[in-house]
Amino acid sequence: MVRGSCDCGAVGWQLEGHPEEATACNCTLCRRYGALWAYDYEGDSVELSGETRSYVRGEGWIAFHFCPVCGCVAFWRARQRDDEGRRRVGVNLRLAEPGAVAQIPVHQFDGLDSFETRSRDGRCVVDYWF
């Protein structure tokens, strides 16, 4: 299990198991947030806690949730449920303790231009911190 929380501790998330990979996206929001995302479904493997504020942009299929006290971006959540009634969530791994996520491999996602996954370059979460 991996846990993350904002700086003040008011907002958090818990992810059952251990993510096999993280995503670094270069879209206009993710690159500004500096987030590294791990994904699953709310209520399945992801539990969210605390009151958040959210920001929805563009076509509005996801909402980015942040702590209204300290401003940390904690997760994004799909605004619609899928065909199985589940809601996709991306948790910001930068809110976890470094040792818990340091060795998770990262792949790059081109959310700015092509909307395609790029190949891995061998870097892990820890490589993005330094």
Task: Report the candidate in 76, 73, 59 with the shortest Cα–Cα distance to residue 7.
Answer: 73
Mean pLDDT of 80-99: 96
Q: Which residue has the tokens 């809110």?
A: 95
Residue ranges of E strands in 7-114: 12-15, 22-25, 37-41, 46-49, 53-56, 62-66, 73-78, 88-92, 106-110
Structure confidence at residue 18 (pLDDT): 93
Please name the residue ranges forming H helices in the chain.
30-33, 98-101
Of the pLDDT bands very low, low, confident and very high (cuts 50, 70, 90), residue 37 is very high
Q: Domains in the chain and their CATH numbers?
A: 2-128 (2.170.150.70)
Alpha carbons 2 and 13: distance in angstroms, whole number? 8
Structure confidence at residue 88 (pLDDT): 97
